[in-house]
Amino acid sequence: MDYSVKNNDIIVCEKDFNLDETLDCGQAFRWKKIDRGYRCTYEGSFLNDSLTVSQVSDDMFVFHDVSEEDFLGKWADYFDFDTDYSELKKQFSEDETLAKACSFAGGIRLLRQNSWECLISFIISQNNNIPRIKGIIDRLCEHYGEFPNASKMAEETPDSLAFLRSGFRAKYLCDAADCVNSGTVDLNAIAAAPIDEARAALKKIKGVGPKVAECVLLFGMYRKEAFPVDVWIKRVLAEYYPNGFPEFINENAGIAQQYLFHYIRNLNE
């Protein structure tokens, strides 16, 4: 990644990056499309910052009104600019289906998001669709003025969360908040634990099954070997990988999964 400083902006040159594909592919639910790009706020949250970012050409981006220090210290990490996606896609493309997926939407990057936010977001995601997931998370943030931490959410009950209109998931959100707030579930420890141990620990939370646990590991803990299997990936596996997913992908299976997910969902367009 190449960057330069212009006035109060950071100009980034990066060819393996597309904002629409990365911020609207179902890994993050809080980025808003605005006139000149996307905006998200993490104020009071793990980044304690806000950002407006826009894509001005295939390989050029503007990080608006951000210091070089904050860009390097926060956003370069968040957007995973240290990882060479060109090299990853080159490896993936030895597989015929993945080659197509990579050329279809090669601008997806795995965001380094916050584990707690991902836990809550993907509990909400179960048996739900992306527009409605976004709506519920919007109402959550609007209610607290920011994405609430576990301690704030632990004060709630399923009834007091009725304003979310999250349905049967409210009781799961409360259990997640209780587990994290009380220390029964230590997200930082889980992030560093062996993968099977991490999976088991996450699934102690009510409403966290195999799929949600895998999403939290991948999107909230940067565990690139995690491989969430939802209805779309089931279709991919059945149709293109009847004899199993290629083993050489394993350590980056989660990133490959992102390309495949986006590919199969948009195949008809």
- Residues in contact with DNA by CB under 7 A are 25-27, 125-133, 135, 162, 165-168, 203, 206-213, 215, 228-233, 257-258, 261
**Cβ closer to DNA: 40 or 72?**
40
**Cβ closer to DNA: 25 or 150?**
25
**Cβ closer to DNA: 32 or 165?**
165
> Cα-flanking dihedrals φ and ψ of residue 189, to 5°?
-65, -40
User: C-beta of 258: minimal distance to DNA in Å?
Assistant: 6
User: C-beta of 2: minimal distance to DNA in Å?
Assistant: 28
User: C-beta of 232: minimal distance to DNA in Å?
Assistant: 6
**Cβ closer to DNA: 37 or 207?**
207
**Cβ closer to DNA: 73 or 209?**
209
DSSP β-bridge partners for residue 55: 61
Q: Which runs of E-coded beta strand occur in 107-238?
A: none
The burial of 93, by beta-carbon neighbours within 10 Å (0-12 exposed, 13-18 middle, 19 or more buried), is given as: middle
**Cβ closer to DNA: 7 or 129?**
129
User: C-beta of 51: minimal distance to DNA in Å?
Assistant: 21
| Residue 156 CB contacts under 8 Å (≥ 6 apart), including other chains | 173, 174, 177
Helix (H, G, I), strand (E, B) or coil at 151: helix
User: C-beta of 9: minimal distance to DNA in Å?
Assistant: 29
User: C-beta of 104: minimal distance to DNA in Å?
Assistant: 15
Tokens matching residue 30: 């809080």
Residues of 98-134 as b/e, b for ≥16 C-beta within 10 angstroms? beebbebbbbbbbbbbbbbbbbbbbbbbbebeeeebb
How many Cβ atoms from other residues are within 10 Å of residue 27's Cβ?
Answer: 24
